[in-house]
Amino acid sequence: MEQPVLSRIPEGLLPAAVPEEGRPFLQALLNAPGWALGFLDRDLRLKWANDALATLAGRPLSGQIGRGVGELWPALASPLGGLCARALQGEVISGVSLACTTPEGAALHLRVSLMPAVAGGLMSGLTLIAQDETLRVREHILLRESEERMKALVDISCDGYIIHDGGTLLDVSRGCAALFDSTPEQLIGDQLMNWTAPESRPTFAEAVRKGIDTPYEVVALRRDGRRLPLQVLAREVDYCGHRARLVALWNISGHKAAQEAAARDESFREQLLGVVGNDLSAPLKSLHLGLNNLQQEGKLEAGQARQLTGAAKRMDRMLRELLDFIRARMTGTLPVSPAPMSLETAMERAIEEQQKVHPERPLIRAVEGDLRGQWDETRLTQLLEILLSNALQHSSSSNPVELSAKGRKDGVTVAVLDKGPPLLPEEHESLFEPFRKGRKQGREGMGLGLYLSRRIAEAHGGRITVESSVEQGTCFKVWLPRQVPAL
């Protein structure tokens, strides 16, 4: 470490009793680089000092001789006075660290030694030796701060770290100790295997033997015996003069729990889809077949057949909507199979189906422009049936419902208009929430239709909006690009 260069003692300050031939040697000794030297009498007054010691007092040497240590170095008066008192009792004080602040506000760190001076068997005073360690201490503080920053960086980058040599723990971060419900002091010196679950010990032993540097997973044992899944990443490092292994740890218990929950959700989804798609649809198909047989055998009157067939169709539609709702909620979207088609085909099919259910209601169809595109015909027919059914339910039987489509360059807009009671502005967005039955409560269905209509439009890269007023009625508009965007 760099030491301050101290001024040499002027020749005239050496005691006259020093032989001429010894003066150069004594002068060199008293002005040894980095050392402040002085002599104190029994009353702790300064009798002699080299320039380095004089510099510590911040005043000329001529103004220091004869003054006490408390006056010369007031910031050190208390600790230095206590050391001097012990030295006057005959104790040799060796290398005691003292710290103070200079009048200019700078930190000063000294290593002080005091040796009793005895002449003729009597205590005559003390020899004071001081070394300025300010630079070394400052560098040590900076180094410690750097180490703390690095530890904080590691704590941010991972959940904790350990350093081990052949499985013996040499250093443990507080974050790591917290993972094991312990303290660094309790872990250091222990064997890492003691904190590793039995099923993971072969994996860990193999990783240590081969010096594996890629991430791998182990199961740790907490102090309370609970297991904790960890991801680890190890590197060789220098530690106290020899090679050791630095192991960074990440707690992946949350990730593992999420994986298990996802697996349970997937299993539940498959079970639910199986129940709705197969177990419930099978008896419904049997009901349809039974009704057809009864009709063909003439065992049902026309009104009875129409009523039962309509109820069966409503059940089938509700079952399909429930199945679609489950798919949409579980997977985030509805599956579509786009193919070249004309929207007129879906419009005709939707009107035909709704006319069977509402034969007395007038349905108006209007088309304009090119209605061709790449869409899923079954899904778009379902969408139009939902919108037509919703309009027929919520409008007067004397008013017609209009289904129109207009083709433009960027896509096609489909609109379903009815003259029913207008919607309040705050209802527009909530209409598309699931299990909402629209403007009149108690209507048929589960309230999933408009929710699914939005999902179908979005699955095609389109959108659905609603406009409502007393003058114009309620109009649902669906815009579709001519091609479903690639995922």
Q: pLDDT per residue over 293-349, tens digit each?
A: 777 777 777 777 677 776 777 777 777 777 777 777 766 778 889 999 999 999 999
pLDDT score of 30: 66
* Residue bearing the bigger pLDDT, 438 or 388: 388
96 to 1, 32, 84: CA distances (angstroms): 19, 20, 12
pLDDT, mean of residues 446-469: 90
pLDDT score of 367: 95
pLDDT score of 374: 95
Provide the 3-class DSSP secondary structure of residue 319.
Answer: helix
- Give percent above pLDDT 90 in the chain: 33
The tokens describing 140, both together, are: 């040590």
Residue extents of the structural domains in the chain: 11-138, 158-251, 263-330, 333-481
**Residue closest to 417 by CA, chosen among 439, 395, 436:** 395
359 to 248, 348, 400: CA distances (angstroms): 73, 15, 12
pLDDT score of 109: 87
**Residue 323 and residue 274: Cα distance in Å, rounded?**
10
The tokens describing 449, both together, are: 């239709």
pLDDT, mean of residues 61-70: 84
Neighbouring residues of 253: CB distance < 8 A, sequence distance ≥ 6: 228, 229
* Residue bearing the bigger pLDDT, 409 or 443: 409
The domain over range 333-481 is classified in CATH as 3.90.45.10? no
| Cβ atoms 51, 8 nearer than 8 A | yes
In a 13 Å sphere around the CA of 214, the CA atoms on its Cβ side amount to: 3
The tokens describing 169, both together, are: 């723990």
Q: Do 11-138 and 158-251 agree at the fold level?
A: yes
DSSP state of 421: P
Please, what is the average pLDDT of the chain?
81
pLDDT score of 155: 57
Which stretch of 106-110, 274-278, 382-386 has the lowest confidence by average pLDDT?
A: 274-278
Q: Is the pLDDT of residue 158 over 70?
A: yes
11-138: which CATH topology?
Beta-Lactamase (3.30.450)
CATH number of 158-251: 3.30.450.20
